[in-house]
Amino acid sequence: MTANTIELMHKGLTRIQGPLLFVKNVSGVGLYESVEVMASDGRQRVGRVVSVDQDNVVVEVFQGVDGLSLSETRLRFLGQPIMLDVGKGMLGRVFNGIGKPLDGGPRVSAEVRLPIQGNAINPVRRMVPKEFIETGISSIDIMNSLVRGQKLPIFSGSGLSHDQLASQVARFARLRGGEAEQFAVVFAAIGVTFDTAERFRREMDEYGALERIALFLNLASDPSTERLLTPRVALTAAEYLAYKEGRHVLVVLTDMTNYCEALREVSSSHDEIPSRKGYPGYMYSDLSTIYERAGRIIGRDGSVTQLPILSMPNDDITHPIPDLSGYITEGQVVLDRDLDRRGIFPPVKLLPSLSRLMNEGIGKGLTDPDHPILALQLYAAYAQAHRLRLLSSVVGEEGLSSADRLILRFGDAMEQKFIHQGGERRTLEESMDIGWQLLAELPDEALLRLSEDQLDRQIRGRRHAR
Amino acid sequence: MSTAEVYWINGPVIRARAHGVFRMKEAVLVGDDRLAGEVIRLSPDAVTIQVFEDTTALMPGAVVEGTGLGLAVELGPGLLGQLFDGIQRPLKVIAETHGDFVGVGQSAPGIDRERLWPYVPTLAEGDRVNGGEALGEVQETPELVHRVLVPADVKGKITWMAPAGDYNVEAPLARILDSAGEEHEIPMLRRRAIRSPRPVARRLTPGQPLLTGQRILDTLFPIGKGGAGEMPGGFGTGKTVLQQTIAKWCDADVIIYIGCGERGNEMASILREFPELDDPRTGRKLMERTVVIANTSNMPVAAREASIYTGITLAEFMRDQGFHVALVADSISRWAEALREIGGRLEELPAEEGYPAYLPTRLAEFFERAGRVETLGGLEASVTVIGAVSPPGGDFSEPVTAHARRFTKCFWALDKERAQARFYPAIHPLQSYSGYVDDVARWWQDRGGMHWQDRRARVLTMLEQQARLEKMAKIVGRDALPAEQRLILVCADVITETLLSQSAFSENDRYCTPEKQLAMLELLDQFMDLAEEAVTAGADPDAFYALPVMRKVQRAGDDVANDDLDAIKDIGREMDEAFAGMTRAGTRESA
């Protein structure tokens, strides 16, 4: 396909509606082809073809339509989907939401041009993610373990400390016993404030990791439709770093809620039939083309691990955004306002949190043979404490048996000693030890998940030590 | 063949001007990349087509080629152990020829043309045959003998028969002369339309359970061979793990696992695990009896819609050879969403939640393809369908969950609260049900479970009463309940831990034989008898928890191996003594 420039006079552009341009008398244009849109002021914007008819084309403009006129707008159809130039020297740089340098530095040497939409990894070429990443955070390492190639979102709420948690993971994360080898961080700001992006950059800087990070910024003030491109641009860069340069890339996408809002905005401008809460019916499929780009491929060195952040509107986990995300991602780390208020950091709400790939990455030969059973028993006891808490809020603690009161105390200790850790980095062994200590406070009959042998090795000794 | 010219493109839906005749549901090829598509609407001036591949870069003017055939799959030996996408492209072959990513226009035949199969005829020249009868056999895997059948619509006299030997799937194996004087050449390879069910001689009702090795399913909510079941659950409730568990351990001959709009890494884990795990019945590797259909969420949406039909057609093909097939679909909701997306692009008037009004009809058609049958060849065989449903927000009143319920007889409701406590399988015993209990009760009785139905009912009653009493305990406090009521709470707790909890990762517990299930049910029955007696004699039910034997009862699933059922008897004896000791102590006290 050759690029054909068509200068459109007032006859061509017939209508501008929301982010959509309706163009007449164009032929030889393919679906999802990228388009350069130039206003009379010479400012260039990126668009793409979303619908084609015999000689009518609808173009979606990603960077706002302010200042466009019917008569003076020129369009250039590029004959290819939207591409990103990738090459050496992307790390340490700051780009805008469509991958143009923002830091005054030179353009990236375009070794390869890749379509930002990406392609689905053939399932038979996927390597099962099982390399445990030690994040240094007990509630993740022990209870919701992260592995390379996983997509594990943080479900948060406005004003909670998800950004600090993401930055802590980005700084602390390493393979056990491994050196900090070929790792890199790609940070995509999707409609967040300048502050958020800058704080992340600064924290990485203080940690001396700035030359390992690439930032893609679509800030709150940037056009909302551009948000549809930013995660894809960032992931395209990440895939280059992973599969061409062999790095283990952690991609932080914040905030996916803003992405979904933009999707809804664009969808309604297409007059599409909305599904739940006005979000388009294809939001699941659309989100999956972002999240499913996490993975490891057989025979390639690098990996793409995703840590998307999304703020649950009104803290509601059943809202379509967290709900559809949760059906695609491999678990979720849920943050809780109550814990946050009580000064517990990170405020990870354990019960609804989950890592689906955990069992692939932990246990004998991977972390510790007793790691899986420790997590199960901690979960079982903590869930029981949670139930008893509800019960005691009605009948009072006196209405509980002494065995139940022990469990209740275990629940409190779990939050104060295990979940809460401030800015401290804990090794897996340190986290496990805290877990066993807490369980040792409970009697045998409350520890049904543990075998006699496990009680002997891990619990009874710790009771005697007291 | 007819052709048409594309003039309108909207995502996976295109319209073209026809030159020649197109039929509804005809398979077509679109553009230079020959993308697979299917005719879904006809009007005087337009053929509307859904395209099963990415339509990026497709232009008006592209040529559509009709095939004259319905959307079909290829059938023959060599399906087992394969991984296909939603329209039966062999993903292993595609990875070898096209690399790590799935792209546009990549295709390869579903059945390998080169491979030779050892064929042995079972009929001879001169024999008269009917459709569905076996002509000969192929040892497809060490456990499974593939039967080469006479096509359903052919009957007559065998005029020529290939001798035993190695043949590829296209080689003719027999010629049959029908009464109209037409001669049919029969190879192993078949092409069959996926949208309509394959014929059978007679439909039967399920009579034996599909054993899954999961106590809460087999003992409490059994599904019959040939039954249909629905498994709804919000995200994170363990649907996929349970689906995979069933696919691993159920006692079907062939498993069709459909990953419909789900995660790529899950498919990878099946591909890694199944070739390593042993089938508990045959000792062969699980992958040898499994076909995986993977249309992950980021693969084209129209192919996702086709994937469940591809799967069930494969299932029927294996069933017609006389096998018991279990089809596990994860998830039906993603298929329904694909219907909704295509419907939206066709500007159809939406019904509930934006789903097209024909959603219930399509669900009914799909689930009705499950069943126990007598095949045309006179064999007893079955297709069992188990569909996971992913209700938005975990709300079971949404259309897909609610409609699927109308056409299935097993309802396995996954419960968020249990899943959050990492209590697996997280099936809620009060929200779930099975309509096959009476059908399979006889089978359990024949296995020595004379009291199976009564004991099962007793367990469910306890759980039902527990729910009621817990509400009361929340208001007045557990201590305020009389001993008989606290006894029910204790019994229900013990049942929950012993019978309902089952570890998928424990060597002993991941698969529980029917014999062990019966033994554990009996153990619980004994416990309830002893506990009731003790409470009547004045014991405090909450004291039972501290009896050392109760840890053994509740850990029996995990601690006792399937072939060591004496150990359960030992626990029973120990429990007798413990309770006798308690009663003696109680009597002394009151004296």
| Among chain B residues, CA nearest to A299 | B100
Minimum-distance CB partner of B7 among A53, A80, A319: A53
Contact list in A for residue B389 (CB cut-off 8 A) is none
| Among chain B residues, CA nearest to A277 | B353
Minimum-distance CB partner of B555 among A274, A292, A448: A448
The distance of B270 to chain A (nearest Cα, Å) reads 9
Residues A14-59 have pLDDT tens digits of: 889 888 999 888 888 888 899 999 888 778 889 999 888 887 889 9
Substitution target from B52, B94, B263, B274 for chain A, most A beta carbons within 10 A: B263
Residue with structure tokens 């679509």? Answer: A218
Contact A129 B265 (CB under 8 A): yes
The distance of A433 to chain B (nearest Cα, Å) reads 21
Containing B303, the helix (H) or strand (E) segment is helix B301-320
Q: What is the pLDDT of residue B487?
A: 96
CA dist A334 and B240 (Å) reads 21
Q: What is the pLDDT of residue B590?
A: 55
Minimum-distance CB partner of A124 among B8, B95, B341: B95
Contact A275 B474 (CB under 8 A): no
- How far CA A58 is from CA of B46, B56, B57, B342, B566, in Å, comes to 21, 14, 14, 19, 74
Rounded to 5 degrees, what are φ and ψ at B34? Answer: 50, 60
Contact A372 B505 (CB under 8 A): yes
Residue with structure tokens 């909890």? Answer: B501
Using alpha carbons only, how large is chain A's radius of gyration in Å?
25
Share of chain A above pLDDT 70, in %: 96
- The yes-or-no verdict on residue B588 having pLDDT over 70 is no
Contact B94 A122 (CB under 8 A): yes
Q: What is the pLDDT of residue A11?
A: 52
| Among chain A residues, CA nearest to B233 | A327
Confidence of residue A8 (pLDDT cuts 50, 70, 90): very low
Residue B477 burial class via C-beta count within 10 angstroms: exposed 0-12, middle 13-18, buried 19 and up: middle
Q: What is the pLDDT of residue A2?
A: 42
For residue B236, give the nearest of B415, B503, B502, B497 by alpha carbon. B415
Residues A399-449 have pLDDT tens digits of: 788 889 999 999 999 999 999 999 899 999 999 999 999 999 999 999 999
The distance of B18 to chain A (nearest Cα, Å) reads 15
| Among chain B residues, CA nearest to A148 | B265
Q: What is the pLDDT of residue A390?
A: 86
Q: What is the pLDDT of residue A53?
A: 85
The distance of B493 to chain A (nearest Cα, Å) reads 12
Q: What is the pLDDT of residue A442?
A: 96
Q: What is the pLDDT of residue A1?
A: 39
Which residues have CB under 8 Å from B105's CB, separation 6+? B33, B34, B35, B53
Q: What is the pLDDT of residue A3?
A: 44
| Among chain A residues, CA nearest to B104 | A119
Minimum-distance CB partner of A285 among B103, B265, B301: B301
- The yes-or-no verdict on residue A224 having pLDDT over 90 is no
The distance of A178 to chain B (nearest Cα, Å) reads 24
- How far CA B28 is from CA of A160, B14, B25, B65, B109, in Å, comes to 52, 12, 9, 6, 16
Residues B135-162 have pLDDT tens digits of: 999 999 999 999 999 999 999 999 999 9
Minimum-distance CB partner of B297 among A33, A328, A444: A328
Mean pLDDT of B129-134: 95
Minimum-distance CB partner of A352 among B420, B546, B555: B420
Contact list in B for residue A120 (CB cut-off 8 A) is 101-102, 264, 296, 298-299
Mean pLDDT of B227-235: 95
Contact B344 A272 (CB under 8 A): yes
Q: Residue B548, by phi and psi: left (phi above 0), alpha (psi -120 to 50) or beta? A: alpha
Q: Residue A104, by phi and psi: left (phi above 0), alpha (psi -120 to 50) or beta? A: left
Contact B421 A289 (CB under 8 A): no
Using alpha carbons only, how large is chain B's radius of gyration in Å?
28
Minimum-distance CB partner of B420 among A122, A276, A351: A351
Does the fold of domain A84-359 match that of domain A4-80?
A: no
Residues A115-161 have pLDDT tens digits of: 999 989 999 999 999 999 999 999 999 999 999 999 999 999 999 99
The distance of B551 to chain A (nearest Cα, Å) reads 6
Contact A128 B268 (CB under 8 A): yes
Confidence of residue B63 (pLDDT cuts 50, 70, 90): very high
Residues B285-308 have pLDDT tens digits of: 999 999 999 999 988 888 999 999
Contact list in A for residue B423 (CB cut-off 8 A) is 380, 383
Confidence of residue A247 (pLDDT cuts 50, 70, 90): very high
Minimum-distance CB partner of B263 among A293, A330, A383: A330
User: Please, what are the domains in chain B?
Assistant: 3-72 (2.40.30.20), 117-187 (2.40.50.100), 200-436 (3.40.50.300), 452-590 (1.10.1140.10)
Q: What is the pLDDT of residue B293?
A: 95
B479 vs B230 pLDDT, higher one: B230
- The yes-or-no verdict on residue A7 having pLDDT over 50 is no
Contact list in A for residue B353 (CB cut-off 8 A) is 275-276
- How far CA B587 is from CA of B531, B576, B584, in Å, comes to 16, 16, 5
Confidence of residue A10 (pLDDT cuts 50, 70, 90): very low
CA dist A359 and A376 (Å) reads 11
Contact list in A for residue B53 (CB cut-off 8 A) is none
Substitution target from B5, B84, B100 for chain A, most A beta carbons within 10 A: B100
CA dist B64 and B179 (Å) reads 39
Minimum-distance CB partner of A124 among B91, B299, B423: B91
Q: What is the pLDDT of residue B424?
A: 93
Q: What is the pLDDT of residue A9?
A: 39
Pick the CATH number of A4-80 from 2.30.33.40, 2.40.10.170, 3.40.718.10, 2.40.110.10: 2.40.10.170
Residues B10-51 have pLDDT tens digits of: 888 999 999 999 999 999 999 998 999 999 999 998 999 999
B347 vs A122 pLDDT, higher one: A122
Contact list in B for residue A297 (CB cut-off 8 A) is 100
Contact A120 B91 (CB under 8 A): no
Confidence of residue A179 (pLDDT cuts 50, 70, 90): low
The distance of A308 to chain B (nearest Cα, Å) reads 16
Residues A261-296 have pLDDT tens digits of: 999 998 888 888 888 889 988 899 999 999 999 999
Contact list in A for residue B476 (CB cut-off 8 A) is 395
Confidence of residue B479 (pLDDT cuts 50, 70, 90): confident
Which residues have CB under 8 Å from B524's CB, separation 6+? B455, B459, B494, B495, B498, B499, B553
For residue A174, give the nearest of A212, A217, A201 by alpha carbon. A212
Minimum-distance CB partner of B102 among A120, A324, A383: A120
Query: Per-domain residue ranges for chain A?
Result: 4-80, 84-359, 371-465
- The yes-or-no verdict on residue B570 having pLDDT over 60 is yes
| Among chain A residues, CA nearest to B416 | A352
Residue with structure tokens 């994360």? Answer: A173
The distance of B125 to chain A (nearest Cα, Å) reads 44
**CATH class of the domain at A84-359:** alpha beta
Mean pLDDT of A382-396: 88
Residue A336 burial class via C-beta count within 10 angstroms: exposed 0-12, middle 13-18, buried 19 and up: buried
Contact A285 B83 (CB under 8 A): no
Structure tokens at A276: 């739940």
The distance of A381 to chain B (nearest Cα, Å) reads 8
Total CB pairs under 8 A between chain A and B: 216
Contact A395 B477 (CB under 8 A): yes
Minimum-distance CB partner of A292 among B103, B296, B555: B296
Contact B344 A32 (CB under 8 A): no
- The yes-or-no verdict on residue B94 having pLDDT over 50 is yes
Minimum-distance CB partner of B265 among A128, A281, A359: A128
Mean pLDDT score of chain B? 93
For residue A234, give the nearest of A297, A174, A293 by alpha carbon. A293
Containing A288, the helix (H) or strand (E) segment is helix A283-291
Contact A272 B555 (CB under 8 A): no
CA dist B18 and A82 (Å) reads 32
Residues A327-368 have pLDDT tens digits of: 999 999 999 999 999 999 999 999 999 999 998 899 999 999
Substitution target from B422, B481, B490, B509 for chain A, most A beta carbons within 10 A: B422
Contact B423 A380 (CB under 8 A): yes
Mean pLDDT of B521-536: 96
- The yes-or-no verdict on residue A466 having pLDDT over 80 is no
